[in-house]
């Protein structure tokens, strides 16, 4: 059975293996020993119940309880931009018009901003290719909302998610080639690696003035706000939960940034507590996410549910074992997708 849980120190080798599979443009988890070690160290501090880092990184893994294999990872940054600046482009519009000349031109622009400073961020979502089935991606992504619903005081009232931007089969980003390369003189993959470790150089080298997108090459213009093919399913999941593209893009690959009020996320709004009754009788029907109320021992999985009384649901021993709960435990539930409620 698949279960999402907080990352642990002995997950280092598994996370390192996942990092080898992410590919170019996946800034938050790269094939880099130093970055992987730093992420685990930060996550272990975040899940220490005696500390509460302002910019905590909550990192979760998807574990197959039958084999013990780690097949996915996802994370939440409690707040971005409080120590290192958080940059993106805001897509705007300028109108150049003349009645006398009968000219009216509406031109898109890019302006570098720090508008999302302090927002919480959904990040580091990656599922191993051979595990992309059986709603595993939905569980890995949406389980983060169950954790946020349980601990709202640890997160901002606003939430963002940066989507990986378009690149071709060779890993070349047309947005980077048309804009960023002129100011960095670096290949996209190299600049992306550097940005994951140190963003200060961005402020030093990026143009501070507004950029007219009609001056960019056509492929770069077309890439603005477009999502990488491998990331499109993740974008749809988040949009179905209430996140939206509002005109902010990544400064490297032009990928869209999705934004929402945290309380407006469907899974957070609709999730609620029930008591668990453990029974061998398997349930059928709609899938629900079920999560525990623990912090460092948080667990979340998906399963059909059967209601056996007011605010009481039945879980099989297998599910109860994956969640590490006993008879009568309080759990949080929500439909995996929009649907009915108990």
75 has pLDDT over 90:
yes
Q: What is the DSSP letter of 192?
A: H
pLDDT of residue 22: 85
pLDDT of residue 159: 98
Q: Tell me the mean pLDDT in the region 136-154.
A: 97
Q: What is the DSSP letter of 54?
A: T
Q: Tell me the mean pLDDT in the region 98-122.
A: 91
Query: Which residue from 331, 289, 243 is spatially nearest to 144, judged by alpha carbons?
Result: 289
The better pLDDT of the pair 141, 191 is held by 141
Backbone torsions φ then ψ of 277, nearest 5 degrees: -110, 125
Q: Tell me the mean pLDDT in the region 271-282.
A: 92
pLDDT of residue 25: 62
Q: Tell me the mean pLDDT in the region 144-171.
A: 94
Report all structural domains of the chain as residue ranges with CATH numbers, in order of start. Answer: 2-88+114-266 (3.40.630.30), 272-335 (2.40.40.20)
Over residues 210-232, the pLDDT tens digits come to 999 999 999 999 999 999 998 99
11 pLDDT band, cuts 50/70/90, is very high
296 pLDDT band, cuts 50/70/90, is very high
C-alpha distance from residue 112 to each of 91, 116, 203, 212 (Å): 9, 12, 10, 12
203 has pLDDT over 80:
no
Active site annotation includes 116: no
Taking the whole predicted model, whether its pTM rises above 0.85 is answered as: yes
Between CA 156 and CA 227 the distance in angstroms is: 25
pLDDT of residue 29: 82
For residue 331, what are the contacts with CB-CB under 8 A and spacing of at least 6? 273, 274, 275, 276, 290, 291, 292, 293, 313, 315, 323, 325
Q: Tell me the mean pLDDT in the region 315-332.
A: 96
Work out the number of other CB atoms within 10 angstroms of the CB of residue 283: 18
Query: Regarding beta strands 306-309 and 244-249, do their DSSP bridges make them parallel or antiparallel, or are they unpaired?
Result: unpaired
| Range list of H helices, the chain | 12-19, 33-46, 136-150, 174-175, 181-184, 188-197, 200-205, 218-223, 232-240, 266-270, 317-323
- For the chain, what is the mean pLDDT? 91
- Distance between the two ends of the chain, CA-based, in angstroms? 24
150 pLDDT band, cuts 50/70/90, is very high
> Rg of the chain's alpha carbons, rounded to an integer?
22
341 has pLDDT over 60:
no
199 has pLDDT over 70:
no
Catalytic residue (choose from 96, 133, 158, 228): 228
pLDDT of residue 273: 97
Q: Tell me the mean pLDDT in the region 168-189.
A: 87
pLDDT of residue 309: 75
Over residues 19-30, the pLDDT tens digits come to 988 876 677 787
Q: Tell me the mean pLDDT in the region 293-298.
A: 96
Between CA 71 and CA 14 the distance in angstroms is: 8
What is the percentage of the chain residues whose pLDDT exceeds 90? 70
Between CA 230 and CA 253 the distance in angstroms is: 14
């Amino acid at each position: 059975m698949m279960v999402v849980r907080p990352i642990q120190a002995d997950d280092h080798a598994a996370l390192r293996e996942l990092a080898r599979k992410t590919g170019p443009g996946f800034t938050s988890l790269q094939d880099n020993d130093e970055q992987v070690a730093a992420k685990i160290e930060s996550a272990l501090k975040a899940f220490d119940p005696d500390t509460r880092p302002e910019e905590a990184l909550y990192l979760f893994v998807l574990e197959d309880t039958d084999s013990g294999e780690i097949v996915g990872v996802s994370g939440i940054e409690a707040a971005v931009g409080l120590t290192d600046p958080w940059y993106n482009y805001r897509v705007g519009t300028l109108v150049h018009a003349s009645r006398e000349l009968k000219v009216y031109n509406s031109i898109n622009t890019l302006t570098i901003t720090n508008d999302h400073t302090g927002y919480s961020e959904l990040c580091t979502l990656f599922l191993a290719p051979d595990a992309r089935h059986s709603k595993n991606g939905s569980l890995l992504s949406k389980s983060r909302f169950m954790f946020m619903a349980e601990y709202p005081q640890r997160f901002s009232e606003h939430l963002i998610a940066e989507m990986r931007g378009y690149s071709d089969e060779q890993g070349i980003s047309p947005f980077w080639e048309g804009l960023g390369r002129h100011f960095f003189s670096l290949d996209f993959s190299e600049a992306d690696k550097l940005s994951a470790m140190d963003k200060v150089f961005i402020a030093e080298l990026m143009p501070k003035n507004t950029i007219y997108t009609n001056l960019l090459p056509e492929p770069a213009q077309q890439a603005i706000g477009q999502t990488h093919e491998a990331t499109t399913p993740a974008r749809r999941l988040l949009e179905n939960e209430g996140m939206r593209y509002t005109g902010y893009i990544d400064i490297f690959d032009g990928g869209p940034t999705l934004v929402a009020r945290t309380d407006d996320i469907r899974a957070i709004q609709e999730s609620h507590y029930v008591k668990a009754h453990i029974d061998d009788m398997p349930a059928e029907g709609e899938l629900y996410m079920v999560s525990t109320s623990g912090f460092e021992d948080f667990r979340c999985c998906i399963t059909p549910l059967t209601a056996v009384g007011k605010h009481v649901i039945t879980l099989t021993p297998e599910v109860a074992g994956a969640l590490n709960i006993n008879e009568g435990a309080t759990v949080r539930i929500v439909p995996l997708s929009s649907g009915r409620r108990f």
